[in-house]
Structure 1
Amino acid sequence: MSSDDDLTTVRVDQFFPHPPAKVWRALTEPELLAQWQMPGAGEFRLAVGHRYRMTSVPRPNTGFSGVVEVEVLAFDVERMLAVRWRDADPAHPADWTITWRLEQEGRGTRLFLVHEGFDPDDPAQLMARRIMGGGWAAHVLPALGQALERFP
Structure 2
Amino acid sequence: MTKLATLEFEQYLDHPPAVVWQALTDPAQHAKWWAAGDVGAEVGHRFTLEMGPWGAQRCEVLEAEPEKLLRYTFAEGVLDSVLTWRLEPEGHGTRLFLTHAGLDLDSEAGRAAHKGMGQGWPGLLAAMNTTIG
Q: Which TM-score tier does this pair reach, normalised by the shorter chain?
A: 0.7 to 0.9
| Secondary structure at 1:8 match in 2 | strand
Structure 1 48/7 Cα, relative in aligned 2: closer, same or farther at 3 Å?
closer
Aligned counterpart, 1:8: 5
Runs of 4+ in structure 1 over 3 Å off: none
| CA distance, structure 2, for counterparts of residue 7 and residue 97 of structure 1 | 12
1:50 to 36, 45, 54: 45
Q: Tell me, yes or no, if the aligned pair for 2:21 and 2:67 is still in contact at 8 Å.
A: yes
Contact 1:26 1:147 in 2 (8 A): no
Q: For 1:18, give the aligned amino acid.
A: H
Residue 85 of structure 1 contacts residue 96 of structure 1 at CA under 8 Å; is this kept in 2? yes
Instruction: Report the counterpart of residue 3 of structure 1 in structure 2.
Output: none
Q: For 1:60-106, what per-residue CA distance to the aligned partner results, in whole angstroms no more than 9, with x for missing partners?
A: xxxxx42200111111111100011125xx5xx41010000011112
* Partners of 1:7 and 1:130 in 2: CA distance: 13
1:141 corresponds in structure 2 to: 125
Equivalent-residue separation in structure 2 for 1:112 and 1:130 (angstroms)? 19
Aligned residues of 2:28 and 2:36 also touching (Cα < 8 A): no
For the 8 Å contact 1:7–1:126, the answer to whether it is kept is no
Unmatched 5+ stretches in structure 2: none
Which structure 1 segments of 5+ residues have no match?
A: 1-5, 59-64
Could you say what the CA RMSD is over the residues aligned between the two structures, in angstroms? 1.8
More strand by share: 2
Partner of 2:61: 72
| CA distance in structure 1 between the partners assigned to 2:31 and 2:108 by the alignment | 31
TM-score (ref. length: structure 1): 0.77
| Aligned twin of 1:106 | 91
For these two proteins, the number of residue pairs brought into alignment is 131
Tell me the distance in 2 between the aligned counterparts of 1:124 and 1:48.
27
Q: TM-score, normalised by structure 2?
A: 0.87
Cα distance in 1 for partners of 2:71, 2:80 equals 13
1:61 corresponds in structure 2 to none
* Distance (Å, rounded) in 1 between the aligned partners of 2:111 and 2:7: 11
1:107 to 1:51, Cα distance in 2 relative to 1, 3 A: same
> What is aligned with 1:24?
21
